[in-house]
Amino acid sequence: MRWIFLAGLHALCIFFLILPAARAQGGTEGICMTVHQGIRLHVDGMYGGYPHSVLRDAVLQGVACPSGEGELHAFSQIASPSPHLRIAVVRPMGQGQQGSISARLFAQGHFVIGERMSLSPLAHSQSPFSVTSDVNLMMARLWSDLAARIAHGGSVIP
């Protein structure tokens, strides 16, 4: 009886050790969950020598969701199933190195819209959390551009 108990306990321990690793490998986070079914976010890239988890947390703090009437209307056309947003941040190691940030939105297996910009001068020598304002600005532009495309009679998925 004791052997069965220990084997079961061992199996549970292995299960709970593997579960977080499997979630981390998936690499997606649910964001904007109050807007339809939300968005699946995947963060790529590197920021100097910082761990990827720090960069991911900084990006999560800066993400802006669609908010205006036009943005919400445009988003509603791609909201099901949940769209996938890929944000990439690259800042090479070393002082003064130029970095960039990009976002690409995919829906129903197709590319919808993307934005790219250089990192602000503040981000060149600071921690990854200095990119939160850059992420926020880039996302605001992405939603604004998508809404403008729809307002001018364009299709959501080109």
Cβ atoms of 57 and 45 within 8 Å: the answer is no
Using one digit for the tens of pLDDT, what is the confidence trace for 114-157? 999 999 887 766 788 889 999 999 999 999 999 999 999 888 77
Beta-carbon count within 10 A of 18 CB? 10
- Please say if the pLDDT value at position 10 is more than 90: no
Residue-by-residue DSSP string for 72-122: HHHHHTT-SSPPEEEEEEEE-SSTT---EEEEEEEETTEEEEEEEEEPPGG
**What is the reported pTM?**
0.78
pLDDT at res. 100: 93
pLDDT digits (tens, 9 = 90+) for 68-101: 999 999 999 998 899 999 999 998 877 666 789 9
Higher pLDDT, 136 or 21: 136
- The model's confidence at residue 8, banded by pLDDT at 50, 70 and 90, is low
Report the SS3 class of residue 30: strand
**pLDDT reading at 22 higher than 50:** no
Distance CA 73, CA 66 (A): 9
Q: What is the pLDDT, as a whole number, of residue 115?
A: 97
**Omega before 81 within 30 of 0, i.e. cis:** yes
Q: Is the dihedral of CA 69, 72, 74, 76 positive or negative?
A: negative
For residues 153 and 133, give the distance between their C-alpha atoms in angstroms, rounded to a whole number: 31
Write down the pLDDT at residue 25: 40
Share of the chain above pLDDT 70, in %: 79
pLDDT tens-digit readout, 27-66: 778 899 888 889 999 999 998 888 999 999 999 999 999 9
